[in-house]
Structure 1
Amino acid sequence: MRTPATCASSRVEWIRERTQIPQVELPEGRWLDLPGRGRTWLTDVPGPSPDAPAVILLHAVGTTGALTWFPVIGELAKDYRVITFDQRWHGQGIMSDQFMISDCADDVAAVIDELGVEKPIVAGYSMGGVIAQRVWRQHPSKVGGLVLAATTSHFRANLPEIAFHQGMEISMRLLNVLSRFSVTRAAAGRTARALSVPPTETGQWALAQFNSTHPWTVGQAVASLGRHNSGPWLKSINVPTAVVVTARDHVIPPDRQRHIAWSIPGATVHEAQCGHAGCVLEAAAFVPAFRAGVDSVRLRMANSPKRAARPAQR
């Protein structure tokens, strides 16, 4: 007779057998204190020289910085300083009374200031791509270029999506009450620490990283994402931008991803033949396309004339 424990074990084995998680060297991390905001878990991999250009990688919803980007970090570190961190409410990121995409963008600006990084390329995957857009909107003087991967300008594009996000927003307002209790937040923190297993086997480490984010975080993030709409101001983006399209994506349709590039002056498109989880599960297809996007932005940054300062907006 199969018990719940054996069923759970079988599911884990089924996942491991059918997913191709890259076996790479996992970078070490450290705590970074952001004055007045909190602290987050940071991975900062130096490039080949002290003056190597910096890339800040922003992760997808429900994951962590390292989990979304570990297949990419080693490749980028050949030529770039590579920085990623856990967004608030994710992994070992900042805990707060509520989750807002605009706060996540302010966190990125705080990381840039705390590390003393000059005009980095800000790159984001899915939710991270939305946050990257907001970083430029709210802190344009801090951004050298953008790479937007597997993302969109808005989510409420049709009636089913509108109904879904509105329902999620109402539900999350109710659940948000739970997150305000310090006992609940402390329990979530203890769970995350308990799951921080040594990174000896990549699959085991990846499962622990995934489990370090509480399920209600996904709902809170989805509700906030549903309020995002950068469509009216994408045409104002004045930094070199690359859009990496996950061409077999069933979560964010590829045409909606391409629309971002069509809306941003001078943006380039780099196609990766993978689905929405391609950053990890189809890394062989995703990493070269993403690397090409980053290199394209770097080249245009080097050749771009100095831009006039633009006021920050919310």
Structure 2
Amino acid sequence: MTTRVMKSATRHALKGSLTAARYGGRAAVLGMRTGIRRTQRFPALPELPAGRLLDLPGRGEAFVVDTGAPAGDPGAPTLLLFHGLATTSYLTWFSTLAELAATHRVVMLDQRWHGRGIVSERFSLEDCVDDAAAVLDQLGIASVVAVGYSMGGALAQLFWRRHPERTAGLVLASTAACWSQTRGDAMFYPTLHKANDRFRDRYRQRVLEVRAGLGDERHVGAEMSTWAWGEFRSTSAWAMPEVLGALGRFDARPWLGEVDVPTAVVVTGRDHAIATSRQRALAAAIPGATVHETPGGHASVVFDVHRWRPVFLAAVDEVVRHARPVTN
């Protein structure tokens, strides 16, 4: 490949990743704003648990939500929730938090380069899961059932890989074992990596500017679409090339067969973001993993929550029932 062609491909990769982040995500939330006003299919915004900035020695300050143990059950299992790409912990999990917190202690955090997450020199999935382990250290939690949606599913897999002694089980929703599988991926991600090496400092500065404009407390308004729009905008579109580059390098296939904890895979049957076949392949690669299928698309966690939520909650209950003993 000539230098001129490489430069052109780099520009196209950068432009494509920014366009997807900036316009695709905004269109989804704008659709949410319109749809919520016109139909009752979407959940009302529930009362959300408060979060706080938590200092992680040597790592930075992470925005963490900890619901604590449910009333009357101090020994309840802990769920560690990992959110999706270009969102936040609240925006991914708001529709299921009340049900989860009723019977579990729930811990979640904004990942690096997302929302109020840590803005490091560069983004890596490994840093994200090590941040989560550091949060557990600060909260005095020994082990958890790791739960992830989309990008968060990759993080949950990697959490088991890097912290197996802290992982009592896995729930993996609308996710895959690898992000780079097609010929197009094989061209896109290496080119994106080159662009990231060149422009990372610029991305990071833009992400820092957005992060600096956010207060320490989340404003939870009464109106769902306004809240969702504000939550979405708390993650800079300029974070996306860097984050997508890290996802392009993720590949759990060489070690998924070693997973030794109860695992449930929640498959979205009409998913156009992460193909259903890839979700099923993930389940097939994990010994003993069970499949729980829902009929909607990748955004079912919000747009099809009434059908998605009971299947997801059943998957969580199954893993918790069979999880290895936890002492927190």
Uncovered stretches (5+) of structure 2, i.e. residues with no partner: 1-26
Q: Distance in 2 between matches of 1:147 and 1:238?
A: 13
Partner of 1:28: 50
Change (3 A) 1:73 1:12: closer
Q: For residues 71-104 of structure 1, what are the alpha-carbon distances to aligned partners after superposition, in whole Å with 9 as ceiling and x for unaligned?
A: 0111111211111110011000111000011111
- Pick aligned residue for 2:176 from 152, 163, 168: 152
Q: For residues 158-202 of structure 1, what are the alpha-carbon distances to aligned partners after superposition, in whole Å with 9 as ceiling and x for unaligned?
A: 101222222222222222121455xx5542223333995442222
Tell me the secondary structure at the aligned position of residue 61 of structure 1. coil
What is the 5 A alignment of 1:176-195?
176-179=200-203, 181=205, 184=206, 186-193=208-215
Partner of 2:159: 135
Partner of 1:98: 122
Change (3 A) 1:201 1:194: farther
Partner of 1:248: 270
- Pick aligned residue for 1:271 from 293, 300, 318: 293
Q: For residues 223-246 of structure 1, what are the alpha-carbon distances to aligned partners after superposition, in whole Å with 9 as ceiling and x for unaligned?
A: 100001110100000011111111
Q: Distance in 1 between matches of 2:82 and 2:31?
A: 29
What is the deviation of 1:125? 0.5
**Does the 8 Å contact 2:267/2:280 carry over to 1?**
yes
**Does the 8 Å contact 1:87/1:104 carry over to 2?**
yes
- Pick aligned residue for 2:193 from 147, 169, 177: 169
Alignment pair present for 1:76 and 2:96? no
**Does the 8 Å contact 1:21/1:202 carry over to 2?**
no
Identity in percent: 41
Change (3 A) 1:179 1:216: closer
* TM-score calculated relative to the size of structure 2: 0.84
- Pick aligned residue for 1:52 from 76, 79, 84: 76
**Does the 8 Å contact 1:192/1:213 carry over to 2?**
no
Partner of 2:11: none
Alignment pair present for 1:113 and 2:130? no
Change (3 A) 1:175 1:258: same
Quick check: 135-144 or 192-201, which moved more?
192-201
Partner of 1:311: none
What amino acid is the match of 2:293? E
Uncovered stretches (5+) of structure 1, i.e. residues with no partner: 1-9, 306-314
Q: Distance in 1 between matches of 2:293 and 2:48?
A: 26
Q: Which has the higher contact order (CA 8 A, sep 6+)?
A: 2
What is the deviation of 1:295? 0.7
Partner of 1:293: 315
Alignment pair present for 1:260 and 2:260? no
Q: For residues 99-153 of structure 1, what are the alpha-carbon distances to aligned partners after superposition, in whole Å with 9 as ceiling and x for unaligned?
A: 0111111111111211111321000001110011111111111111111111101
**Does the 8 Å contact 1:55/1:80 carry over to 2?**
yes
Partner of 1:65: 89
The aligned length equals 294
What is the deviation of 1:57? 0.6
Change (3 A) 1:201 1:219: same
Change (3 A) 1:89 1:137: same
Q: Distance in 1 between matches of 2:217 and 2:77?
A: 33
Partner of 1:18: 35
Q: Distance in 2 between matches of 1:190 and 1:280?
A: 28
* TM-score calculated relative to the size of structure 1: 0.87
Q: Distance in 1 between matches of 2:136 and 2:280?
A: 28
**Does the 8 Å contact 1:59/1:128 carry over to 2?**
yes
What amino acid is the match of 2:105? R
What amino acid is the match of 1:18? G
Q: Distance in 2 between matches of 1:290 and 1:13?
A: 26
What is the deviation of 1:12? 7.7
Root mean square deviation, CA, Å: 2.3
- Pick aligned residue for 2:62 from 22, 34, 40: 40
